[in-house]
Amino acid sequence: MLLGCSARGAAIACALLVAAPAPLSAQDADTSPSGARDAEARGLFEAGRAAFADGRFEDARDYFRRAHALSGRDALLYNIGSTEDRLRNDAAALEAFEAYLAAVPDAENASEVRGRIEVLRRTLAEAPDPTPPPSPPTPGPVTSGPSIVWTFVVGGVALAAGGAAIGTWIAANDQYAALERGCFAMAGSCNEAEISASGVEGLVTATNVLMISSLVLAAGTGVALALELTSPGDATSAHARLGVGPGSVFLDGSF
Q: Is residue 205 part of a domain?
A: yes
Residues 102 and 199 reside in one and the same domain:
no
Residues 6+ apart with CB under 8 A from 196: none
Residue 3 lies in a domain: no
Question: What confidence tens digit (pLDDT) does each residue in 88-126 have?
Answer: 999 999 999 999 999 999 999 999 999 999 999 999 999
Boundaries of domain holding 163: 146-254
Which amino acid, residue 214?
S
- The total domain count for the chain is 2
Domain co-membership, 211 together with 156: yes
Give tens-digit pLDDT for 228-252. 666 554 444 444 555 555 445 455 5
- The CATH number given to whatever domain includes residue 40 is 1.25.40.10
Judge if 55 and 100 occupy the same domain.
yes
Greater pLDDT, 255 or 76: 76
**pLDDT, tens digit (0-9, with 9 covering 90-100), for 168-183:** 778 767 766 776 666 6
> pLDDT per residue over 127-153, tens digit each?
876 666 677 666 555 554 556 666 667
Higher pLDDT, 1 or 142: 142
Is residue 161 domain-shared with residue 120, that is, in the same domain?
no
Give yes or no: residues 117 and 37 share one domain: yes
Domain co-membership, 18 together with 122: yes
Residue 6 forms part of a structural domain: no
Please tell me which residue, 140 or 210, carries the higher pLDDT value: 210
**Is it the case that residue 39 has pLDDT exceeding 70?**
yes
Arithmetic mean of pLDDT over the chain: 73
Residue 240: strand, helix, or coil: strand
Asked if residue 131 is part of any domain, the answer here is no
82-89: long-range contacts, CB 8 A cutoff, minimum separation 24: 82/20, 82/21, 82/22, 82/23, 82/52, 83/23, 83/48, 83/52, 83/57, 83/58, 85/20, 85/21, 85/116, 85/120, 86/16, 86/20, 86/52, 86/57, 87/57, 87/58, 87/61
Q: In this structure, are 113 and 188 located in the same domain?
A: no
